Amino acid sequence: MENNYELINHSKLKHVKIIVNRIVSCNTHIHNDFELSLVLRGTGIIKVNNTSYNVKQGDLILINTCDSHSYSTLSEESYKSSEEFSESVPVILIVQISNHFLREYYPNLRNTLFKSGLVTDFFSSDEILDLKKLLLKSAIAYFSEEDFYQLQIVSYISKLFQKCYEKIPYHLISEEEKEILKKRNERIQRIISYIDENFTSRIRLEDIAEMEKITTTHVSHIFTDSFGISFQEYINLKRLEESIRLMDNHNKKLIDIAFESGFSDPKYMNKMYQKYFNCRPKEFKTQAKITFENNPQFKSIKDESLYHDKRALEAIKDFIVQKNIDL
C-alpha cells in the first residue's frame, strides 16, 4: 500500500497526457494534474481521498489536482474462475491535465477544486455522453497523431473544462491555501517514504511526529484524512503485503516471514491474515502455491499494463462500438 507523489511527464503534448491502462491494482498516489478516468471495460474500484467508487464500463470519474487516489479491481473471490477475473480487470482511459493548462487564458484553473468523484450527479445523460465524446476524441487524436492533432486536443479539453465549470460545484483556493496544500502533500510523501524504508523494523507514531515536528494527534489525522485508515493499520498493511511477497519463496518458514515482514511475533501476523483474508498464513501460503504453480494465466497478470498507442486505439474503438457512440 504505497503512496507516491507522481511527477507526470507530458512528453507528447505540453500539459496533457493520455493513457489507456489495464489496472489490477494501482497504489494510492498524488499528483498536480487533474485526472479524468473513463472505464472502457471491466469493473473495479476507484478511491478518491476517503471515498471508494465501484465503477463499471462507461463510468466517468473526475479527480482534482492533489487528490489522493488509487485504482483496483474487485476481489478475485467475486468471480467463478481466474479467467472470469482476468476478463473483468478494468481497462481505463486516463486523461491527465496539468493545472497550468492554458493558464495564459484562464489562470483560475490552477486554483480550482471541483467536487471530485463520479460526475453523473451533475449532468444529464446527454451531457454525460458529450463529455465522453470529448474525452474519446481527445484520446483518438492523441494516439493517432494525425495533422493538427495538438490543436484538436486543446480544443476538446478546453470545451470539456468549460462544461465542468458550468455544471460541477467548485471553489477557488487562494495562493496561500495552495501553498498549504503543497506543503501537506510534501509532508505526506516524506512520511510514506520513511515508512517504506523502515516498516520491517519498529516504527512508532512518536518517531514520525518528532521527524515532522508535529504532534502525534496531527500525524494520526494525516492518515485518517488521506487514507481513511489509522497509522497502525497502514503499517500493518505494509507488513502484510511484504509477507505475501515473501511467500513466493516457498522454502521460507512462516516464523521467518513474520519477522522479516516487521511483525513483532507470528501470532500478530496470524491475526492480520484472519482479519483481511479469513484464513491463517499457512492456509494462504498453500493456496498461493497452488495458484502460482498451477494457474499460469493468473500468474501472468501484472498490477498495471500500459497499452501502446495501437492497442490503446483498439480499446477505445471497441468501447465506442459496444456503447454505440456516434462521434
pLDDT digits (tens, 9 = 90+) for 16-39: 999 999 988 887 777 889 999 999
Q: What is the mean pLDDT of residues 236-260?
A: 85
Say if residues 117 and 59 touch (Cβ distance below 8 Å). Answer: no
Does an H or E element contain 9, and which?
none
Mean of the pLDDT values across residues 271-295? 69
| Burial group, residue 193, by CB count within 10 angstroms (0-12, 13-18, 19+) | middle
Q: CB neighbours of 222 closer than 8 A, spacing ≥ 6?
A: 187, 188, 191
Structure confidence at residue 295 as a pLDDT band (50, 70, 90): very low
Q: How far apart are CA 239 and CA 188, in angstroms?
A: 19
Residue 289 identity = K
Does the pLDDT at position 283 exceed 70? yes
What tens digit of pLDDT does each residue of 172-195 get?
988 888 788 778 878 887 888 888
Please check the confidence at residue 65 and state whether its pLDDT lies above 80. Answer: yes
Question: What is the average per-residue pLDDT within 240-248?
Answer: 83
- Residue by residue, DSSP assigns 58-77 as T-EEEE-TT--EEEEEPPGG
Q: Name the one residue in this structure whose C-alpha cell is 494525516.
A: 222
Give the mean model confidence (pLDDT) for residues 211-232.
Answer: 86
Percent of the residues in the chain that have a pLDDT greater than 70, as a whole number: 88
Q: Identify which of 266, 68, 14 has the alpha carbon closest to the alpha carbon of residue 185.
A: 68
Q: Average per-residue pLDDT in the chain? A: 85
Q: 303 or 49, which is more confident? A: 49
pLDDT per residue over 127-159, tens digit each? 999 999 999 999 999 999 999 999 999 999 999
Domains belonging to the chain, first-starting first, are 4-168+303-322 (2.60.120.280), 175-294 (1.10.10.60)
Backbone φ and ψ for 115, nearest 5 degrees, come out as -75, 105
Residue 4 clears pLDDT 60, i.e. is over it: no
More confident position, 46 or 292: 46
Average pLDDT over residues 93-99: 94
Entry pTM: 0.72
Q: How far is the C-alpha of 166 from the C-alpha of 122, rounded, in Å?
A: 10
> CB within 8 A of 74, min separation 6: which ones?
43, 44, 45, 54, 88
The C-alpha cell 496539468 sits at 98
Most confident among 7-11, 99-103, 108-112, 163-167 (mean pLDDT): 163-167
Which pLDDT belongs to residue 9? 66
